[in-house]
Amino acid sequence: MSSESERARNAAAMLHPELLADHDDAATTRGGRRLDHAEGSSKPLRPPPEKQPRGAKIHGSRPVDQAEAAERFLAAPQHEKMHDERLWDLRQKRDREMHGMPEWEELRSLASAIKEHTLTRLDEYLEQFEANAQKNGVHVHWARDAAEHNAIVHAILKDHGAKSLIKSKSMLTEECGFRHYMASVGIEVIETDLGERIQQLDNEDPSHVVVPAVHKLRTDVAEVFAKTIGTDPDNSDVHYLAEAQRRSNRPLILAADAGMTGCNFAVAETGSVVVCTNEGNADLSANVPKLHIASIGIEKIIPRLEHLAVFVRLLSRSALGSPITQYTSHFRGPRKGGEMHIVLVDNGRSERLGMAEFWTSLKCIRCGACMNTCPVYRRSGGLSYGATYSGPIGLIIDPTFNARKYSNLPFASTLNGSCSNVCPVKINIHEQIYAWRRELVKLHEVPFAKKAAMKAAGELLSRPAAYRAAITATNAALAHLPRFVIYSRLDAWGKHREVPHPPKQTFHSWYQANRGGKR
């Protein structure tokens, strides 16, 4: 196994000469000295790029403080603006695609019905999938939880004497802490998806289920690559960076002992695994080494191949606003002379299936549309959630793993319902978020101050006369109190906003004066 610095030197040596300013003849004097003004060597007369805000700090099982991490993200205006615009652009593209398909709502209903049907007969379809995969010559394993998944994969790799593994993006392996585990047993994991590789090199988790490095500016990527694969820290040209990463990663892919993929859909009637990517990296991971391992969450099953068409039409349109992913790869058996293993992973899914209010969250096809549309997610970045899953879907999945640790997350929502409206499999996301709030109160996982404030608000809102008196008193106070009192530390709402001027007359008093008694 080569060291990081050795790899960085190799990567620099592998870069196309035109990508290295050192090789630009016009940029050097006869003596070979670099000209100061030459592209790539001159120091930019710009302020240094804004530093990337880091995600939530995690301390054991203590509740993640999403609001604190979000505040740091908001305090980095270039990142916040870019993130918001990039994701809103995806949402708009999704809308354009949706409007181009008159049968869109029909497809959503169909997708939802197929998923609900499958989830209510999951045991049957899983067994059918297993039997058909075995007929195709695939070894099938069952993992109860993350630890079992990691141990099974480790055992397979050990049997083959594998020391390095290339893998395509998989949220399930993130759930299992797979990379960290493999590092602890001395097996090198190389991510083949560009965004995921950026996150791996930066020692960060993915911040989005589809676009893992979407929270990073080009300059952040330039900094990461400069440190890890030896690129020019001042060159943040996207083509240069992508090419550099490709040249650094390809030799590692060719030399890997084993490959791993996740799974978008596992077809019960064929026993095949379907993976959708835009970079073809799942095909590299599955086909270059002789050993292919596919990690599959048990909810990924669909009954028949014909059902795939429904999901494929919805997935990429919802995720990126593109009609289809560049690659929709079907893996049915081992490559010639090779071996294929499938690990079917539960990791809390059966338990979730038994939760009356939350079981339909298992319909999720991880398109990320709910994240792209969510005003809280867009402005706080995925890493602020301090969990594998962020955004609206994360708010309902994460507490199923650890209600205490993720007890703040269901409150990071405006409950505007936009997430449910865009969800291609019609999960009632905002209703489940609200249901989690009730559940957390029952579980005593809500801070005392929040509980007391909610109780007081409930009392006030249930007494119209007291509510109106409070409104009148507040309006009078807002009109006369000095600014430093209104914007004190107690006013969390006013931290980033101007409190509106109180109206001279409330709607209620206007109504009484002008329409009082009339029907």
Residues at the contact surface with ligand SF4, assessed by CB under 6 A: 364-370, 393, 422-425, 427, 429
The distance of closest approach from Cβ of residue 419 to ligand SF4 in the complex, given in angstroms and rounded to an integer, is 6
The distance of closest approach from Cβ of residue 150 to ligand SF4 in the complex, given in angstroms and rounded to an integer, is 25
Give whichever of 79 and 108 is closer to ligand SF4, judged by the CB atom.
108
Looking only at the bridges linking them, the beta strands covering 164-167 and 188-191 are parallel
The distance of closest approach from Cβ of residue 171 to ligand SF4 in the complex, given in angstroms and rounded to an integer, is 10
For residues 339 and 141, is the Cβ–Cβ distance under 8 A?
A: no
* Residue among 73, 92, 369 at smallest CA distance from 208: 369
The distance of closest approach from Cβ of residue 424 to ligand SF4 in the complex, given in angstroms and rounded to an integer, is 6
Q: How many CB atoms lie within 10 A of CB 39?
A: 13
Type and span of the H or E element at 139:
strand 139-143
As given in the structure block, the two tokens for residue 146 are: 């993350």
As given in the structure block, the two tokens for residue 511 are: 């109504």
Give whichever of 365 and 376 is closer to ligand SF4, judged by the CB atom.
365
Q: How far, in Å, are 143, 191, 268, 484 from residue 194 at the CA level?
A: 28, 8, 30, 48
Give whichever of 258 and 433 is closer to ligand SF4, judged by the CB atom.
433
Give whichever of 341 and 430 is closer to ligand SF4, judged by the CB atom.
430
DSSP string spanning 372-408? HH-HHHHHH-GGGG-SSS-HHHHHHHHHHH-TTTTTT
Give whichever of 317 and 366 is closer to ligand SF4, judged by the CB atom.
366
What is the Cβ-side half-sphere exposure of residue 347, based on CA atoms within 13 angstroms? Answer: 25
Q: Which residues have C-beta within 8 Å of that of residue 173, sequence separation ≥ 6?
A: 167, 179, 260, 262, 295
Q: How many CB atoms lie within 10 A of CB 516?
A: 9
The distance of closest approach from Cβ of residue 62 to ligand SF4 in the complex, given in angstroms and rounded to an integer, is 27
The distance of closest approach from Cβ of residue 314 to ligand SF4 in the complex, given in angstroms and rounded to an integer, is 9
How far apart (Å, rounded) are the C-alpha atoms in residues 270 and 308?
12
Give whichever of 53 and 424 is closer to ligand SF4, judged by the CB atom.
424
As given in the structure block, the two tokens for residue 374 are: 């969510």
The distance of closest approach from Cβ of residue 425 to ligand SF4 in the complex, given in angstroms and rounded to an integer, is 5
The distance of closest approach from Cβ of residue 43 to ligand SF4 in the complex, given in angstroms and rounded to an integer, is 43
Give whichever of 236 and 316 is closer to ligand SF4, judged by the CB atom.
316
Give whichever of 240 and 389 is closer to ligand SF4, judged by the CB atom.
389
Give whichever of 226 and 423 is closer to ligand SF4, judged by the CB atom.
423
Helical pair 391-401 and 429-442, crossing angle rounded to 10 deg: 30
As given in the structure block, the two tokens for residue 340 are: 């294929």
The distance of closest approach from Cβ of residue 84 to ligand SF4 in the complex, given in angstroms and rounded to an integer, is 18
As given in the structure block, the two tokens for residue 94 are: 């999704």
For residues 92 and 326, is the Cβ–Cβ distance under 8 A?
A: no
